[in-house]
């Protein structure tokens, strides 16, 4: 895992997304998609680049070239979504999560994250 942000919550979210990217069900249905998505986390502030083509999640920056969409939310919200404690649709409706461009693809990854998948994929 190449995420080097210091906060454990950010690390957990990066690991969860990378696990979802590598899940056989996601990989099979998204083969050939070279999306590069930016996840902006707040408190702590961190930008993660999610490269759907290579299956990598790494620290990024706001001006990252080639980004096709972004999602922004508090790190606590991201952790809650990954753990199934925060309803993704409700958080979107409440404005706790914002997105632009192909950000829906990143939300699809969040929606597919379960503890069982993470353990199975590693």
pLDDT digits (tens, 9 = 90+) for 17-42: 888 888 887 777 766 677 899 999 98
pTM of the model: 0.81
Three-state SS string across the chain, please? Answer: CCCCCCCHHHHHHHHHHHHHHHCHHHHHHCCCCCCEEEEEEECCCEEEEEECCCCEEEECCCCCCCCCEEEEEEHHHHHHHHCCCCCHHHHHHCCCEEEEECHHHHHHHHHCCCHHHHHHHC
Quote the pLDDT of residue 3. Answer: 43
Name all domains of the chain by residue range, CATH numbers in brackets.
8-121 (3.30.1050.10)
**Which ranges of the chain have pLDDT less than 70?**
1-6, 30-32, 114-122
Q: What is the pLDDT of residue 32?
A: 66
């Amino acid at each position: 895992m190449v995420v080097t942000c210091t906060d454990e919550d950010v690390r957990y979210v990066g690991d969860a997304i990378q696990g979802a990217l590598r899940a056989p069900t996601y990989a099979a249905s998204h083969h050939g998609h070279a999306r590069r998505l930016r996840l902006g986390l707040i408190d702590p502030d961190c930008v993660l680049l999610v490269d759907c083509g290579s299956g990598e999640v790494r620290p990024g920056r706001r001006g990252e070239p080639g980004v096709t969409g972004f999602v922004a939310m508090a790190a606590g919200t991201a952790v809650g979504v990954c753990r199934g404690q925060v309803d993704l649709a409700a958080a979107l409706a409440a404005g706790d999560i914002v997105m632009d461009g192909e950000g829906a693809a990143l939300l699809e990854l969040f929606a597919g994250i379960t503890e069982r998948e993470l353990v199975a994929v590693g």
